[in-house]
């Protein structure tokens, strides 16, 4: 590119959803998109770009693109692939520069990032090779309890006596939950137990990095009210949640694209 771009595109290709954000040089979001990744990341990316173009009414041809997420290297026309760890830090920092500890819980991983005063990560930890403590864990729980993923959080908040889910493995927790259903435990109590177990797992990861307030939470799971409730309790701290917690990675990528 010979002249400086006036806008930047960030694409976050996650395991569950693909997100796109278009920003201008003042970091104002001009358009955003979020669709299921499905079986083909390149197809999802094309669709996201189309949506960004339609929503903003802009011609996106030739604009700089930074891709992130697990599918970051599968975006053929990206100018740079940057990890979601850096992108989430940059994205969150642009929305709230006070945040020093960020917990991002996505479909397939959870990460805790320490953010430096310049908005860049200074330390981080990711969950190990296990889906407990990720969005997938809640998806499995919702399926077993036969509720939609959107209804799982509100159901859990109805509980007056959360049960204990002892297993930290998604597969074993599933059989544990099936057992509890069999013994007549109320679905709300099981749902509350599942959220509490997950918050404990994510909380432990956060403590490993070191708690520094204010704490921000992003990723699709941040939309879940029961998870927020139990995590806040677990960390004994209020949590800052952006308006669209799923988009911070793509936002960070878009900001990096403008640089």
Q: Summarize as ranges the residues that interact with another protein (CB under 8 A).
A: 70, 81-86, 120-124, 126, 128-129, 208
Per the listing, tokens 């197809």 go with 43
- What is the nearest approach in angstroms of another protein to the Cβ of residue 147? 31
Mapped onto helix, strand or coil, the DSSP state of residue 13 is: strand
Tell me the HSE value of 31 on the side-chain side, using a 13 A CA sphere: 20
- Measured from the CB atom, the residue of 113 and 194 that comes closer to another protein is 113
User: What is the C-alpha to C-alpha distance for residues 97 and 91, in angstroms, rounded to an integer?
Assistant: 10
- What is the nearest approach in angstroms of another protein to the Cβ of residue 88? 10
User: What is the C-alpha to C-alpha distance for residues 185 and 197, in angstroms, rounded to an integer?
Assistant: 16
User: What is the C-alpha to C-alpha distance for residues 215 and 207, in angstroms, rounded to an integer?
Assistant: 12
* Helices vs strands, H then E, count in the chain: 8, 10
- What is the nearest approach in angstroms of another protein to the Cβ of residue 162? 29
User: What is the C-alpha to C-alpha distance for residues 117 and 100, in angstroms, rounded to an integer?
Assistant: 8
- What is the nearest approach in angstroms of another protein to the Cβ of residue 83? 4
- Measured from the CB atom, the residue of 17 and 159 that comes closer to another protein is 17
- Measured from the CB atom, the residue of 49 and 250 that comes closer to another protein is 250
Longest distance between any two alpha carbons in the chain, whole Å: 68
- Measured from the CB atom, the residue of 81 and 215 that comes closer to another protein is 81
Residue of 101, 98, 37, 99 whose CA lies nearest to 72 = 37
- Measured from the CB atom, the residue of 118 and 166 that comes closer to another protein is 118
- What is the nearest approach in angstroms of another protein to the Cβ of residue 86? 4
């Amino acid at each position: 590119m010979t002249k400086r771009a006036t806008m930047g595109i960030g694409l976050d290709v996650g395991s569950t959803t693909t997100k796109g954000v278009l920003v201008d040089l003042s970091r104002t979001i001009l358009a955003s998109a979020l669709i299921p990744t499905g079986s083909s990341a390149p197809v999802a990316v094309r669709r996201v770009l189309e949506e960004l173009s339609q929503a903003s009414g802009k011609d996106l041809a030739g604009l700089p693109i930074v891709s992130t997420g697990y599918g970051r290297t599968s975006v053929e026309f990206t100018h740079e692939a940057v990890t979601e760890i850096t992108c989430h830090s940059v994205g969150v920092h642009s929305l709230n520069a006070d945040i020093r500890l960020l917990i991002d819980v996505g479909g397939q991983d959870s990460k805790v990032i320490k953010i430096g005063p310049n908005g860049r990560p200074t330390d981080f930890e990711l969950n190990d090779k296990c889906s407990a403590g990720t969005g997938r864990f809640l998806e499995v729980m919702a399926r077993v309890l036969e509720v939609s993923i959107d209804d799982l959080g509100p159901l859990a908040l109805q509980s007056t006596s959360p049960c204990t889910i002892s297993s930290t493995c998604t597969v074993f927790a599933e059989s544990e939950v099936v057992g509890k259903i069999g013994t007549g435990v109320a679905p709300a109590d099981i749902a509350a137990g599942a959220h509490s177990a997950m918050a404990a797992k994510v909380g432990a990861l956060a403590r490993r990095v070191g708690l520094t307030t204010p704490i921000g939470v992003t990723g699709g799971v941040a939309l879940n009210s029961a998870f927020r409730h139990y995590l806040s309790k677990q960390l004994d701290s209020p949590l800052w949640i952006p308006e669209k917690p799923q988009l911070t990675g793509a936002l960070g990528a878009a900001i990096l694209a403008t640089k």
